[in-house]
Structure 1
Amino acid sequence: MPIATRRFGRTDWTVSEIGFGAWAIGGSWGNVEEADARASLHAALDAGMTFIDTADVYGDGRSERIIREVLKERGGERVIVATKAGRRLDPHVAGGYTKANLEAFIDRSLGNLGVETLDLVQLHCPPTEVYYRPEVFEALDGFVAAGKIRHYGVSVEKVEEALKAIAFPNVVSVQIIHNLFRHRPAELFFPEAKRRGVAVIVRVPLASGLLTGRMNAATAFSADDHRQFNRHGEAFDVGETFAGVPYEVGLAAVEELRPLVPGGATMAQFALRWILMEEAVSVVIPGAKNRAQAEANAAASALAPLSPDVMDAARALYRERIAPYVHQRW
């Protein structure tokens, strides 16, 4: 069954409601062999995914280059490829978001992806202060006018940043964390994004794998996996790892969610279907490190809508078990 599609905000794009998150095939998720990375992306595209999300820092360009090579191999109608810019700054501070720096990052991504124009460039979780600097967005307007990028958006950590960003009229999309363990974006941001015609890209939909239901207290992660090295925010925002939920708390909550999973579906597919119940969501971008994971992600689109009772039960569990750890932080 083909993946359902949704309109991507006020652009003229229609994209698969489940896309391919390409962080894992770049790095920071343990070792992913090149052959597996390519196979996962091929499987996603074979299944009908038409939206790929990457960034210039994923494997220092490895993710972008793999995407370029796979798409070149396949030929045919090109899918939408979104990338990000900003995290190459060292130190990563608001003052670094200059026109010159952004142009250098964009030019590098153009080369990595082998294109003349980038479909979508997203500011990559910049410091909050960047959203109060109109000159940053004016620079992005200039890159659109110059033909280097078609559209631009932002990837944010906080709901407040998302609301501030969409006050800039040419921000076409916002990427944000939303999942069974992170409900807050639906309260205020989603209705406002929908009202303004802003596309919503949902990342970390499986809470770094917690919501696959395959982890336990004994699960081991390699030293180069952010689920090991960033558990307390040592390398970047802790909300990117297990959605900011303490690991043991998340494991216990997953066990309480299991009875809600529809027959014939996996926990991960249920978690993706839960996100897709929100009309404001344009595309959800789970990662995949191999062919089987990509195919299973795609299949979530075919699940029947969840019942009001199931949605209410999930909300109740969030309020009681998870919200105290995450709700007011992001």
Structure 2
Amino acid sequence: MRQHAFGRMPFTVSDIGFGAWQIGGAWGDVSEADGRAALHAALDAGMTFIDTADVYGDGRSEKIIADVLKERGGARPMVATKAGRRLAPHVADGYTKANLEAFIDRSLKNLAVDSLDLVQLHCPPTEVLYRQEVFAGLDELQKAGKIKGYGVSVEKAEEALKAIEFPGVVSIQIIYNIFRQRPADLFFKEAKRKNVAVIARVPLASGLLSGKISRDTAFASDDHRNFNRNGEAFDVGETFAGVPFEVGLQAVEEVRALVPAGTGMAAFALKWILTNEAVTVVIPGARNAEQAKANAAASDLAPISADVMAAAKDIYARLIAPHVHHRW
């Protein structure tokens, strides 16, 4: 698996990382045993970047990561977590240094470390990105040694562009996949110019781009693909990348025709993301060891041809862009 620098930070990371939302919760029943097996398989395959959050299973994801890394010993991967979504209500005024420090202290305990490799503001209200004092507080927490660096996880490309105006922001996490192509219009160019690391999340559009979901697929009551179809719990763009379900299924069938023989559709979708050199790491989730291994294998796929890339862009423009491009 290819390894490279993580922006301006002194970390080397794999181009495919491990997204740890699924082993925390909100994806139906994923047992702790399966979660541990998935993470072990990812690390065995060479992944050196893990992304989690304090709200994934109310700390369950962070604690599983801590236990697995302690069990394995040796060189540690880079572990990024997030803070802010524990606020109730989740409003801009809650993003104080005191609140963020409390969240960070909790994550330090959950992850069993003295300093977090990377903490990301977890899709904060847009107003937060206009408050210098929030980032000044993060600078102070970094100087105190509680965090090695900080970034922002965002919903919109405009938010990403605003966030990287702050010099201390070393990374941006944003949704980017075949069904969400807008970040490549302008944001990626600016991120590359400023050497800001880009973490691409929701790479498979909540499983749509795995090609394994159909109209008859049933999702558990505690799976966000059931309870957040219309944004009832959080931004609708996090579920199926904001694409209406039936439209997504139609587009998937057109994408399927582009996948080379012998290649899985999920692996193809991950490789498509990595074709853009502005992407530092893509973070698919995994429910079990088999999925983690399959995700890792995408790193070594042959490059996607220009013709196929153009065809994927055409599918996006015709079917998907009218629903998502103006929103995120």
Distance in structure 1 (CA, Å) of the matches to 2:238 and 2:129: 20
Distance in structure 2 (CA, Å) of the matches to 1:320 and 1:32: 36
Q: Please give the residue correspondences for 1:52-201 in structure 2 after superposition, counting only pairs within 5 Å.
A: 52-201=50-199
Which residue of the other structure, out of 214, 217, 220, is the alignment partner of 2:215?
217
**Could you say what secondary structure the match of 2:149 adopts?**
strand
Q: In the alignment, which residue of structure 2 is the partner of 1:264?
A: 262
Distance in structure 2 (CA, Å) of the matches to 1:84 and 1:300: 26
Q: Indicate conservation of the 8 Å contact 1:22/1:54, yes or no.
A: yes
Deviation of 1:249 (Å): 0.4
Distance in structure 2 (CA, Å) of the matches to 1:14 and 1:56: 23
Query: Would you say how many aligned residue pairs link Structure 1 and Structure 2?
Result: 328
Unaligned runs of at least 5 residues, structure 2:
none
Distance in structure 2 (CA, Å) of the matches to 1:161 and 1:228: 27
Aligned letter for 1:167?
A: E
Deviation of 1:6 (Å): 2.3
**Could you say what secondary structure the match of 1:260 adopts?**
coil
Aligned letter for 1:299?
A: A
Distance in structure 2 (CA, Å) of the matches to 1:323 and 1:17: 26
Distance in structure 2 (CA, Å) of the matches to 1:42 and 1:78: 12
Q: Indicate conservation of the 8 Å contact 1:6/1:283, yes or no.
A: no
Question: C-alpha offsets along residues 80-131 of structure 1, whole Å, 9 cap, x if unaligned?
Answer: 0000000000000000000110000000000000000000000000000000
Q: In the alignment, which residue of structure 1 is the partner of 2:278?
A: 280
TM-score when scaled to structure 1?
Answer: 0.99
**Could you say what secondary structure the match of 1:234 adopts?**
coil
Distance in structure 1 (CA, Å) of the matches to 2:314 and 2:5: 30
Distance in structure 1 (CA, Å) of the matches to 2:260 and 2:122: 35
Distance in structure 1 (CA, Å) of the matches to 2:139 and 2:90: 22
Deviation of 1:17 (Å): 0.1
Distance in structure 1 (CA, Å) of the matches to 2:190 and 2:147: 25
Q: In the alignment, which residue of structure 1 is the partner of 2:247?
A: 249
**Could you say what secondary structure the match of 2:278 adopts?**
coil
Aligned letter for 2:52?
A: T
TM-score when scaled to structure 2?
Answer: 1.00
**Could you say what secondary structure the match of 2:174 adopts?**
strand
State the Cα RMSD in Å: 0.4
Distance in structure 2 (CA, Å) of the matches to 1:7 and 1:107: 27
Question: C-alpha offsets along residues 147-186 of structure 1, whole Å, 9 cap, x if unaligned?
Answer: 0000000000000000000000010000000000000000
Distance in structure 2 (CA, Å) of the matches to 1:263 and 1:301: 17
Aligned letter for 1:144?
A: Q
Distance in structure 2 (CA, Å) of the matches to 1:308 and 1:176: 24
Which residue of the other structure, out of 18, 24, 34, is the alignment partner of 1:36?
34
Distance in structure 2 (CA, Å) of the matches to 1:72 and 1:12: 22
Unaligned runs of at least 5 residues, structure 1:
none
Q: In the alignment, which residue of structure 1 is the partner of 2:10?
A: 12
Distance in structure 2 (CA, Å) of the matches to 1:34 and 1:58: 13
Q: In the alignment, which residue of structure 1 is the partner of 2:205?
A: 207
**Could you say what secondary structure the match of 1:236 adopts?**
coil
**Could you say what secondary structure the match of 1:68 adopts?**
helix
Aligned letter for 2:35?
A: A
Distance in structure 2 (CA, Å) of the matches to 1:204 and 1:257: 17
Distance in structure 2 (CA, Å) of the matches to 1:137 and 1:154: 10
**Could you say what secondary structure the match of 1:12 adopts?**
strand
Q: In the alignment, which residue of structure 1 is the partner of 2:22?
A: 24
Q: Indicate conservation of the 8 Å contact 1:207/1:243, yes or no.
A: yes
